[in-house]
Amino acid sequence: MPNQMEPRRGSPRPIVVTGKSDADAGRAMRTADVLCTVLGGAAVLALATGCGTVTDGTATTTSAAADSPHIFNPCTQLSDDVLRANRVDPATKSVTTDPAEGPSSWRICKWSSIELPYFLSVASSSHTVQETRANERETGFRDVMIGPRTGLIHQDKIDTRGEVCRVAIPAAQGMFVISAAWRASQPITRDRCELAVQHAKDLEPHLPK
């Protein structure tokens, strides 16, 4: 299944993909890449977030920082009703990272849209919007109001086709990142940033301030 981001060329790769075709492996790394390079400095973040492996398209952390806070878990704390209201199918949930034990700097799940060929990804993190803004690998920064919060639209520089758009919104724990990721095999017919912003606005009341 397609995931969030294109692998970044020339950067360290603390993620290993197995059990997939080459095309699927590249797409699987797209979401997993959030864990290690969405904020820049992959080697540093590998220590901070506990980057690990991706098996059958699912990323797992191996050494989350011991002092990482307990953060909101979108994989378990977004209700089926909320997901359906966002026009995604709860049954299609795919876990990117959600360690079963201990704290984690990232918890990420995604769901398939029931209307168009894209995925909605919801990431919860103890990292911040400011860190995302400082990431030299990101581009297209635009501020946008998401309810009462000022969100940050951004995209991956390597994603030249513009398949993925993300909106980071601040929270006391750090931030949430809402992404719309178009299926690579499908022609693009909708603006991904518009989709991501609308989902962020719909989800904002259900995400801790």
User: What are 107-128's pLDDT values in tens digits?
Assistant: 999 999 999 999 999 999 999 9
Average pLDDT over residues 9-29: 35
Amino acid residing at 144: V
> In the chain, what is the straight-line distance between the N-terminal and C-terminal CA atoms, in Å?
31
Give dist(CA 103, CA 161) in Å, integer.
Answer: 35
pLDDT at 68: 58
Give dist(CA 52, CA 199) in Å, integer.
Answer: 28
Give dist(CA 56, CA 41) in Å, integer.
Answer: 26
Whose CA is closest to 117, among 70, 31, 187? 187
Question: What pTM was estimated for this model as a whole?
Answer: 0.73
List alpha helices for 50-176, DSSP H. Answer: 74-77, 80-85, 129-133
User: What are 5-16's pLDDT values in tens digits?
Assistant: 333 333 222 233
User: What are 130-173's pLDDT values in tens digits?
Assistant: 999 999 999 999 999 999 999 999 999 999 999 999 999 999 99
